[in-house]
Amino acid sequence: MDLAYFHLIDRITDLNLGEKTIAVEAQVPQQSTIFEGHFPGYPLMPGVLLIESMAQTSGWLLIALMKFERMPFLAAVKEAKMRTFVTPGELLSIEASIVHEGSGYAMTQAKVSVGGKLRCNATITFGIAAFPNADLRGHMEAMASRIGFPQQMIAHG
């Protein structure tokens, strides 16, 4: 996890296109300037970054289902619940599944757990659009390789 660059997913641990599910891991760093302000003397992972980690996880699932032909963009977060704190150094298990897809939108259910205990969850809606340019698509393909995205799912054609 690299908070400064919003790289909140370290590796894909499971991707099941038939069941439309994904699981990833992300190691919260021990040190980050974010923790200096959130909160001094009691560092906590900001809830908005937990939501972003669920959105990124969901996004990789959608990209896989669309075989890198289109890209999801965050449209809405519903029923986000922060159940307890996430602290520096914890290993996050993040899962997402498709609830609905169609008409240019997709909706996922996602959750973050640590050691099998639920820390937060949300329903997330995405707009689906063409990649706006080749540079972004290339960046996403490079990121996919970095996090262990199954290369056979990137195959164009």
> Which residues are annotated as catalytic?
38
What does the angle CA 73 – CA 109 – CA 6 come to, to the nearest 5 degrees?
45
> 106 and 128 in contact (C-beta within 8 Å)?
yes
The DSSP code sequence of 45-67 is --HHHHHHHHHHHHHHHHHHHTT
Residue 63 · residue 56 · CB < 8 Å: no
